């Protein structure tokens, strides 16, 4: 049996950085990774997908160059092999950077294999047994595959496998109208494929307010994406030239099918029962405000604990654990103000409460909206789709939440994120003097238009 000061299971965005901090403190660490260092973000999520999004946007801009007085003769051709290679290069650079970093770190042992608990202080991997008084789980999540009629008879894609495509689908059917599915839908439409989105719920991006969801659908439809919502029945069958997707309202002749119906934590084969670690009904590991599980000496970080499921929230889990365990801090998950983005184009930047959540809270609230068509930068760039929206507490004057669907919305939202984290009231932020011409310069104007509801 090999002994360590701590063991990290999973090489995503939280555990490895915590392991590195612990090595700096002189601890002997083991990092166990089943497949690739970097987790979903580096290998099958943010980095490769946003690289693909950038290629798709380049194609879109080239096709629309004439609007800006830039005429490109002939059709815009897409070389999917180059597109794929570019995304793989970005992934490999990041993954190899992590490999090199850990290889040069005294006190760090990296083990590739499938870890399972033997007891609360012991795990087995590759036939070896490792023990430590502290064990950190950072095992991530994977795509959910629903048991739909005919799905076992077709070759479907997931968000992991689609990034390796080096040919262009004739017609991509996307099953699921949430964030992952919508990003791939617009991306492949811009590459030149026909695209259909099929969503069980009544609207796309169901987490968002109805006006945001409607605006997202308008953006996608304007680019020729076929959207089906409120679909109750879906079945698949092989056809002579691809896959037939039959719903209760349509029949789609697809060449490829992407299943984007959510993700589930990688906790079902860790031997958690042997350690006594409790999970909820969805398989997420139950943790307290400091990310400790119900078993002393075991923590769960990142997607597997159900508190965020984003790269930035996973990294913040590392920051919380490191501050509390190594720096004498008392940081809490409940103090985190959730923010995220949807990387369609234009992107959606979101923070805090939706309007629906704010109304349900019983607070006296104020709301302001402003179309992007009234933003100078948007008009200059010829990208006026979408709108800004902010919600504030009428009594405390604190900002409760905001959504910016529009050009650079994923960056502009950070002005509001920072204000909310600092506890700044909206009247104080309203008196800032932003730079012109930017999208951010409209934030004080947006706040100045807040009205009670």
The answer, yes or no, to whether residue 336 has pLDDT greater than 90, is yes
282 carries an active-site annotation: no
Q: Which of 259, 300, 56 shows the shortest CA–CA distance to 157?
A: 259
Token pair belonging to 181: 């599915």
Query: Cα–Cα distance between 47 and 77 in angstroms, integer?
Result: 24
Q: Give the mean pLDDT of 63-81.
A: 95
Tell me what pLDDT residue 422 has: 97
Evaluate whether 198 touches 172 at the Cβ level (below 8 Å): no
Which residue in the list 60, 228, 312, 436 is annotated as catalytic? 436
**pLDDT value at residue 26:** 97
Neighbours of 400 (CB within 10 A): 23
Q: Phi first, then psi: what are they for 185, rounded to 5°?
A: -60, -50
Strand partners, 368: 390
Residue 96's pLDDT is: 96
CA–CA distance, 95 with 92 (Å, rounded to integer): 5
Q: Which CATH class is domain 339-452?
A: alpha beta
Respond yes or no on whether the N-terminal peptide bond of residue 437 is cis (omega within 30° of 0): yes
d(CA 263, CA 250): 26
Reading the block at residue 372, the tokens are 């992007």
In DSSP terms, which residues pair with 122 in a beta bridge?
119, 131
In whole angstroms, what is the distance from residue 140 CA to residue 10 CA? 7
pLDDT band for 204, please (50, 70, 90 cuts): very high
Whether the Cβ atoms of residue 310 and residue 180 lie closer than 8 Å to each other: no
Query: Alpha-carbon distance 372 to 282, whole Å?
Result: 39
Which residue ranges make up each domain of the chain? 2-142+264-335, 151-261, 339-452
As a whole number of angstroms, the distance between CA 44 and CA 266 comes to 15
The domain covering 151-261 belongs, at the CATH homologous superfamily level, to FAD/NAD(P)-binding domain (3.50.50.60)
Average pLDDT for the chain:
97
Question: How far lies 190's CA from each of 56, 88, 213, 225, 280, in Å?
Answer: 5, 20, 21, 10, 40
Q: Report H helices in 305-408.
A: 311-326, 355-360, 376-381
CATH superfamily of 2-142+264-335: FAD/NAD(P)-binding domain (3.50.50.60)
Q: What is the DSSP letter of 144?
A: -
Please determine, for residue 297, whether its predicted confidence score (pLDDT) is greater than 90: yes
| Phi/psi of residue 219, nearest 5 degrees | -60, -50
309 has a pLDDT exceeding 90 = no
Residue 107 has pLDDT above 90, yes or no: yes
Q: How far apart are the first and last CA of the chain?
A: 64
Q: What is the pLDDT of residues 390-422, one digit of tens each?
A: 999 999 999 999 999 999 999 999 999 999 999
Burial class (CB in 10 A: 0-12, 13-18, 19+), 357: middle
Concatenated DSSP letters of 75-98? -----HHHHHHHHHHHHHHHHHHH
Contact at 8 Å (CB) between 368 and 389? yes
Q: Is 426 helix (H, G, I), strand (E, B) or coil?
A: helix
Q: How far is CA 384 from CA 223, 379, 409, 420, 435, in A?
A: 14, 6, 12, 27, 19
- Give yes or no for residue 337 having a pLDDT over 90: yes
Q: Answer yes or no: is pLDDT of 249 > 90.
A: no
The per-residue pLDDT for 289 is 98
Stretch 31-45: mean pLDDT, rounded?
95
| H or E element that contains 111 | strand 108-112
For a pLDDT cut of 90, what percent of the chain falls above it? 98
What residues are paired with 131 via a beta bridge?
Answer: 3, 122
Cβ neighbors of 427 (< 8 A, separation 6 or more) are: 397, 447
Alpha helices of 64-198 — where are they, by DSSP H? 80-103, 179-191
151-261 shares its CATH topology with 339-452: no
CB under 8 Å, gap of 24 or more: what pairs does 376-381 form?
376/436, 376/437, 376/441, 377/407, 377/408, 377/437, 377/438, 377/439, 377/441, 378/406, 378/407, 378/439, 380/437, 381/407
Tokens 């119900």 sit on residue? 294
Residue 314 token pair: 């996973």
Task: State how far the Cα of 96 lies from the Cα of 36, in Å rounded to an integer.
Answer: 10
Q: Output the pLDDT for position 308.
A: 87
Angle, nearest 10°, between helix axes 46-63 and 179-191? 40
Q: Would you say 38 and 46 are in contact if contact means Cβ atoms under 8 Å apart?
A: no
CA 261 to CA 265: how far, in whole Å? 14
């Amino acid at each position: 049996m090999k002994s360590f000061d701590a063991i990290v299971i999973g090489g995503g965005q939280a555990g490895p950085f915590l392991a590195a901090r612990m090595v700096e403190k002189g601890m002997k660490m083991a990092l166990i990774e089943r497949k690739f260092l970097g987790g979903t973000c580096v290998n099958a999520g943010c980095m490769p997908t946003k690289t693909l999004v950038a290629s798709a946007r380049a194609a879109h801009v080239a096709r629309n160059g004439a609007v800006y007085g830039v005429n490109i003769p002939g059709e815009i051709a897409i070389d999917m092999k180059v597109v794929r290679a570019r995304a793989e290069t970005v992934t490999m650079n990041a993954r190899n950077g992590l490999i090199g970093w850990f290889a040069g770190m005294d006190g760090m042992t990296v083990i590739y294999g499938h870890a399972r608990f033997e007891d609360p202080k012991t795990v087995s991997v590759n036939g070896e047994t490792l023990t430590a008084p502290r064990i950190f789980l950072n095992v991530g999540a994977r795509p959910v595959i629903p048991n739909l009629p005919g799905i076992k008879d077709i070759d479907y894609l997931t968000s992991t496998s689609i990034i390796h495509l080096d040919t262009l689908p004739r017609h991509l059917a996307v099953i699921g109208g949430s964030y992952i599915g919508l990003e791939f839908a617009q991306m492949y439409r811009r590459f030149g494929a026909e695209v259909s989105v099929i969503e069980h719920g009544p609207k796309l991006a169901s987490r968002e307010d109805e006006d945001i969801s409607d605006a997202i659908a308008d953006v996608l439809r304007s680019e020729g994406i076929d959207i089906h919502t409120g679909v109750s029945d879906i079945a698949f069958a092989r056809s002579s030239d691809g896959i037939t997707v039959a719903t209760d309202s349509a029949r789609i002749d697809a060449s490829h099918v992407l299943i984007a119906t959510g993700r589930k934590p990688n906790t079902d084969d860790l031997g958690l029962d042997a350690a006594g670690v409790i999970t909820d009904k969805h398989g997420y590991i139950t943790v307290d405000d400091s990310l400790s599980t119900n078993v002393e000496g075991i923590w769960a970080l990142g997607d597997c604990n159900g508190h965020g499921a984003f790269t930035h929230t996973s990294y913040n889990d590392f920051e919380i654990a490191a501050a509390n365990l190594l720096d004498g801090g008392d940081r809490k998950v409940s103090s985190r103000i959730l923010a995220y983005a949807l990387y369609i184009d234009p992107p959606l930047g979101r923070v805090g409460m939706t309007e629906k959540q704010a109304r349900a809270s019983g607070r006296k609230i104020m709301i302001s909206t402003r179309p992007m068509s009234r933003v100078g930068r948007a008009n200059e760039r010829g990208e006026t789709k979408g709108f800004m929206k902010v919600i504030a507490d009428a009594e405390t004057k604190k900002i409760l939440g905001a959504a910016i669907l529009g050009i650079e919305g994923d960056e502009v939202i950070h002005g509001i994120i920072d204000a909310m984290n600092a506890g700044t009231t909206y009247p104080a932020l309203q008196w800032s003097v932003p730079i012109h011409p930017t999208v951010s310069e409209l934030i004080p104007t947006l706040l100045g238009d807040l009205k009670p509801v």
